[in-house]
Amino acid sequence: MPHTFLFQPGVWSGAGTFWTEDGKALSAEIHTEISHRADCWLLAGSLRVLCSPHVEFVNNYFVEPPAPDALTTRFTSENSAIGKLKGSFSIVGPSIVSLYRCEGGPGYYGTEHLLQVDANHYEACGVLLLDGRRLSSWRVALRRHS
């Protein structure tokens, strides 16, 4: 089944769990809008942690459109909490794996794994680290809106 998340324009949302550095589990909501332009694909997303007060992490990705039949593409991202990131998306069977690192500044880096359930559903989990120490992690179910 061809991938739909990232590879097709659309709006995705979902919910799941966000874990803090000390392992505290909190409810979270996610919203992502994907659009395709000739020069780049744009991914605008947010993860809202339902604590008191709410915390929202906002990411804006600029993705290089992959060459036909390519399994990996690169991106840059502006993250509201940690700054400018560079990374890649790679197709691994039914999964899209993202690896990223902070450009300059502190040693932030991480990964996110998106598993395709069907054309309209993915399960995503990820982790953000700083110099080898886990800062946060998350697991969410995503659903594409028509």
Assess whether pLDDT exceeds 80 at residue 60. yes
If pLDDT is split at 50, 70 and 90, which confidence band does 71 have?
Answer: very high
What is the residue-wise DSSP string for the chain? ----TTTS-EEEEEEEEEE-TT--EEEEEEEEEEEE-SS-EEEEEEEEE-SSS-EEEEEEEEEPPPPTT-SEEEEEEEETTTEEEEEEEEEETTEEEEEEEESSSS-EEEEEEEEEEETTEEEEEEEEEETTEEEEEEEEEEEEE-
Q: What is the pLDDT of residues 99-127, one digit of tens each?
A: 999 987 778 999 999 999 999 999 999 99
Residue spans per domain, the chain = 10-145
Q: Which CATH class is domain 10-145?
A: mainly beta
pTM, two decimals, is: 0.94
Q: Report pLDDT for 81.
A: 79
Mean pLDDT over all residues of the chain? Answer: 94
